[in-house]
Amino acid sequence: MNPPRGRLLPLLLALSGQAAAEVRLPAVFSDHMVLQRDKPVKVWGWAEPGEKIRVSLSGRTADAVASPAGGWSLELPAMAAGGPHKMTVAAKNTLKVRDILVGEVWLASGQSNMEFELKHAGNAGHEIKSANYPQIRLLLVPRTAEGLPRDDLNARWSVCAPDNPAVADFSAVAYFFGREIHRAIGVPVG
Query: What's the whole-number average pLDDT of the chain?
Result: 90
pTM of the model: 0.85
| Tens-digit pLDDT profile for residues 115-130 | 899 999 999 999 999 9
Domain range annotation of the chain = 25-102, 104-190
Please state which CATH class domain 25-102 belongs to: mainly beta
- The fraction of the chain above a pLDDT of 70, given in percent, is 89
Q: How far apart are CA 57 and CA 59, in angstroms?
A: 6
| Tens-digit pLDDT profile for residues 9-19 | 343 334 444 44
| Tens-digit pLDDT profile for residues 26-81 | 999 999 999 999 999 999 999 999 999 999 999 999 999 999 999 999 999 999 99
